[in-house]
Amino acid sequence: MKRFLFCLSLLVSGAVYAGELEDANALFEKKDYPGALKIYTKLADAGNPQAQQLLGQMYWYGEAGQVDEARAKALFEKSAAKGNKVAQASLGVMQQRVERRADIDYWVKGYDGSELKSGEFRCPAPRIPALSKINDEIERVGAAVANWQTCYNKMVTNLNEVSPLSKRIPQDIATLMSKAETDASHAHLERVRLNIAEEAKVNSRLIMADFAAWRSATEAYVDQHNQTVKKAKSERTMEERRGD
């Protein structure tokens, strides 16, 4: 009889835990994190492996009020020791995070987007003189600016195509990031994109301003030169007629 009563008490206790776990899950789905935290903590302290795993995730993602990796790991270890597969996988992820820390930090704060403005996307400013007086130089400057414009358009097009830069984070690294790291990496990468775009825009304005000044000065010189030539030709014609 005692054995039967003991088994019965275990069944009742399990049913109560299951009901409370469902309540906690429902609160969590509604984003009532304090309410879910209270129940998960109670069940985890009582030794429920699923509650330990779920509570560990709340500390892992900061839903328990703050990110606490040490507490999350301790809860995962307790749950994993009782055979919880999700907790075991979480511990595996935590170990990989240690091994891949340099890769994670690179995308959180180290990436500088250098490949987006180098190689075929490196567009050095063309040499533009104050003005040009001979046709060969006029043609050279015009061709150099046209080539730069083609390169600039290609760079801008590529930058737009690869944006947002968060798409460049390798999937195996992205899956190892915590929510805070994911948010930080996205913010960092957006700053990198904006800096590259702004730098390109400023350089473009400077180059086009120099080009406009060169073209204005060169056209003025050419007009003046043509007028001088025309006047000289007219004077020679008049002299020839007087000589006749």
For 81, the token pair is 């020791």
CB 24 within 8 A of CB 40: yes
Contacts of 91 (CB under 8 A, 6+ apart): 73, 76, 77, 80
| CATH architecture under which domain 2-99 falls | Alpha Horseshoe (1.25)
CB 43 within 8 A of CB 24: yes
Select the more confidently predicted residue: 242 or 79. Answer: 79
pLDDT at 122: 96
For the chain, give the mean pLDDT: 89
- What number of other Cβ atoms are within 10 A of residue 91's Cβ? 17
User: To which H or E segment does residue 67 belong?
Assistant: none
Can you tell me the mean pLDDT for 232-242? 68
Domain edges within the chain: 2-99, 109-243
- What number of other Cβ atoms are within 10 A of residue 225's Cβ? 11
- 242: confidence class by pLDDT, cuts 50, 70, 90: low
- What number of other Cβ atoms are within 10 A of residue 137's Cβ? 13
Nearest to 96 by CA among 176, 161, 207, 2: 176
CB 76 within 8 A of CB 90: yes
For 151, the token pair is 């390169």
Can you tell me the mean pLDDT for 153-163? 97
Can you tell me the mean pLDDT for 155-184? 94
Type of residue at 44: A
Residue 185 has pLDDT above 70, yes or no: yes
On whether the pTM is more than 0.85, the answer is no
pLDDT at 73: 94
Residue 10 has pLDDT above 60, yes or no: no
Residue that is written with structure tokens 């990110």 in the block: 67
- 226: confidence class by pLDDT, cuts 50, 70, 90: confident
- 241: confidence class by pLDDT, cuts 50, 70, 90: low
pLDDT at 1: 29
Contacts of 90 (CB under 8 A, 6+ apart): 53, 56, 57, 60, 72, 76, 80
Distance CA(94)–CA(70), nearest Å, equals 10
Express each pLDDT in 131-150 by its tens digit: 999 999 999 999 999 999 99
Express each pLDDT in 13-49 by its tens digit: 444 456 899 999 999 999 999 999 999 999 999 999 9
For 26, the token pair is 């429902």
CB 162 within 8 A of CB 193: no
- 210: confidence class by pLDDT, cuts 50, 70, 90: very high
DSSP class of residue 169 equals S
